[in-house]
Amino acid sequence: MFYLLHSVYPYISCPSSWIDLIKLIEGCRHELRVWKLNWERPPPNTFQLNTDGSALSNPGKIGGGGILRDSQGDMIYAHTNSLGTGTNNLAEVQAAAHGLYWCTQHDTKEIILEVDSEQLTKWISHSSQPPWKLQEQIKDIHRLIKAT
């Protein structure tokens, strides 16, 4: 039974008894944070691209998506993508890159990119160095930003 638990949730160490499992469960805490968010329309003649990435576990199956809206708030484009296996950071990067790539392919200029990943924001703004595995993809995002 415990091995099945470990195979489904590999990040949980395999308990040796039911008592250990109960102690493990009792020690679990769910952190809940709530933020009030308001989407604001971009300025006239500007588009806003909101993207997000997600990982089922880290690393694990990843996916991402985004939505592009005009200054009236009307949806221009939306995407969701299964991105294979990787980390949450990889999912965030690839979701943003996909949306920006679509914008360049459709000659959409004057774009505000909004992401919820503080880490991705730091990498894009050059205030933090991305891990080597993501450096080329961050460079691609910089090229895409310059093209839009």
Q: How far is it, in rounded angstroms, from Cα 117 to Cα 2?
A: 35
52 and 125 share a domain? yes
72 and 135 share a domain? yes
Residue bearing the bigger pLDDT, 10 or 20 = 20
Whether the predicted pLDDT of 113 surpasses 90: yes
28 and 86 share a domain? no
Whether omega before 43 lies within 30 degrees of 0, making that bond cis, reads no
Instruction: Tell me if 77 sits within 8 A of 67, measured CB to CB.
Output: yes
Task: Give me the number of domains the chain comprises.
Answer: 2
Average pLDDT value over all residues in the chain: 89
Quote the pTM value: 0.75
74 and 29 share a domain? no
CATH number of the domain encompassing residue 94: 3.30.420.10
**The amino acid at 22:** I
Q: Extract the tokens encoding 38.
A: 């308001």
Whether the predicted pLDDT of 104 surpasses 80: yes
135 and 112 share a domain? yes
Q: In what order do the strands lie in the sheet with 111-115?
A: 75-86, 60-69, 47-55, 111-115
Q: Which domain holds residue 137?
A: 47-147
Look at the alpha carbons of 12, 16, 17, 19 in this order and tell me if their dihedral is positive or negative.
negative
pLDDT tens digit sequence for 32-86: 778 777 889 999 999 999 999 999 888 899 999 999 999 999 999 999 999 999 9
Residue 87 lies in a domain: yes
Residue 70 lies in a domain: yes
138 and 88 share a domain? yes
Q: Supply angle C-alpha 31, 35, 39, rounded to 5.
A: 145
Residue 41 lies in a domain: no
Instruction: Tell me if 48 sits within 8 A of 111, measured CB to CB.
Output: yes
Share of the chain above pLDDT 70, in %: 92
**Predicted pLDDT at 11:** 66
13 and 69 share a domain? no
